[in-house]
Amino acid sequence: MKTKDIHFLIMVVVVIGFLLVLSMTGRQRYLTQTPPHLSAASDVECFSCHDEGKQFPMTKEHPLRKKNCRQCHRFEKK
Protein backbone atom coordinates (compact mmCIF):
# COMPACT_ATOMS: atom_id res chain seq x y z
CA MET A 1 0.00 0.00 0.00
CA LYS A 2 1.14 3.50 -0.71
CA THR A 3 1.66 6.05 2.04
CA LYS A 4 -1.18 8.19 0.63
CA ASP A 5 -3.57 5.25 0.92
CA ILE A 6 -2.60 4.63 4.53
CA HIS A 7 -3.08 8.31 5.40
CA PHE A 8 -6.47 8.28 3.69
CA LEU A 9 -7.59 5.19 5.63
CA ILE A 10 -6.42 6.71 8.91
CA MET A 11 -8.41 9.89 8.20
CA VAL A 12 -11.52 7.88 7.31
CA VAL A 13 -11.26 5.94 10.59
CA VAL A 14 -10.72 9.16 12.57
CA VAL A 15 -13.72 10.90 10.98
CA ILE A 16 -16.01 7.89 11.46
CA GLY A 17 -14.83 7.54 15.07
CA PHE A 18 -15.44 11.23 15.72
CA LEU A 19 -18.95 11.05 14.26
CA LEU A 20 -19.68 7.94 16.31
CA VAL A 21 -18.60 9.68 19.52
CA LEU A 22 -20.74 12.71 18.68
CA SER A 23 -23.79 10.55 18.02
CA MET A 24 -23.45 8.75 21.35
CA THR A 25 -22.88 11.81 23.53
CA GLY A 26 -25.11 14.72 24.32
CA ARG A 27 -27.91 15.49 26.67
CA GLN A 28 -31.16 13.60 26.35
CA ARG A 29 -34.08 15.94 25.71
CA TYR A 30 -37.06 14.19 27.23
CA LEU A 31 -40.40 15.86 27.74
CA THR A 32 -41.80 15.86 31.24
CA GLN A 33 -44.89 13.70 31.70
CA THR A 34 -47.26 16.62 32.35
CA PRO A 35 -50.78 16.86 30.90
CA PRO A 36 -49.89 19.70 28.46
CA HIS A 37 -46.97 17.69 27.07
CA LEU A 38 -48.97 14.47 26.88
CA SER A 39 -51.79 16.15 24.95
CA ALA A 40 -49.69 18.35 22.63
CA ALA A 41 -50.16 17.09 19.09
CA SER A 42 -48.51 19.92 17.17
CA ASP A 43 -45.84 22.59 17.46
CA VAL A 44 -48.57 25.22 17.77
CA GLU A 45 -49.52 23.71 21.11
CA CYS A 46 -45.86 23.69 22.20
CA PHE A 47 -45.52 27.39 21.42
CA SER A 48 -48.65 28.24 23.42
CA CYS A 49 -46.35 27.92 26.48
CA HIS A 50 -42.84 28.14 25.00
CA ASP A 51 -43.06 31.19 22.72
CA GLU A 52 -41.62 34.62 23.57
CA GLY A 53 -43.58 36.34 26.31
CA LYS A 54 -45.23 33.11 27.46
CA GLN A 55 -44.87 31.23 30.75
CA PHE A 56 -41.83 29.10 29.72
CA PRO A 57 -40.15 30.83 26.75
CA MET A 58 -37.28 29.23 24.82
CA THR A 59 -33.87 30.77 25.28
CA LYS A 60 -32.31 32.80 22.48
CA GLU A 61 -29.63 30.10 22.17
CA HIS A 62 -32.17 27.33 21.54
CA PRO A 63 -31.23 25.61 18.26
CA LEU A 64 -33.74 25.22 15.44
CA ARG A 65 -36.18 27.80 16.77
CA LYS A 66 -39.70 27.46 15.35
CA LYS A 67 -39.00 24.05 13.84
CA ASN A 68 -40.26 20.56 14.59
CA CYS A 69 -40.20 20.26 18.41
CA ARG A 70 -40.57 16.47 18.43
CA GLN A 71 -37.51 16.12 16.23
CA CYS A 72 -35.39 16.52 19.38
CA HIS A 73 -37.79 16.43 22.33
CA ARG A 74 -39.29 12.98 22.95
CA PHE A 75 -41.10 11.09 25.64
CA GLU A 76 -38.80 9.05 27.84
CA LYS A 77 -38.66 5.34 27.03
CA LYS A 78 -39.97 3.15 29.81
pLDDT in tens, 14-71: 999 999 888 777 766 788 888 888 888 888 888 889 888 999 898 888 877 667 888 8
The pTM score is 0.54
Report which of residues 21 and 76 the model is more confident about. Answer: 21
Domain boundaries, the chain: 3-75
Helix residue spans in 1-78 (DSSP H): 3-24, 35-39, 43-50
What burial letters (b/e) apply to 45-70, b meaning 16+ CB within 10 Å? ebbeeeeeeeeeebeeeeeeeeeebe
CA distance linking residue 67 with residue 48, whole number of Å? 14
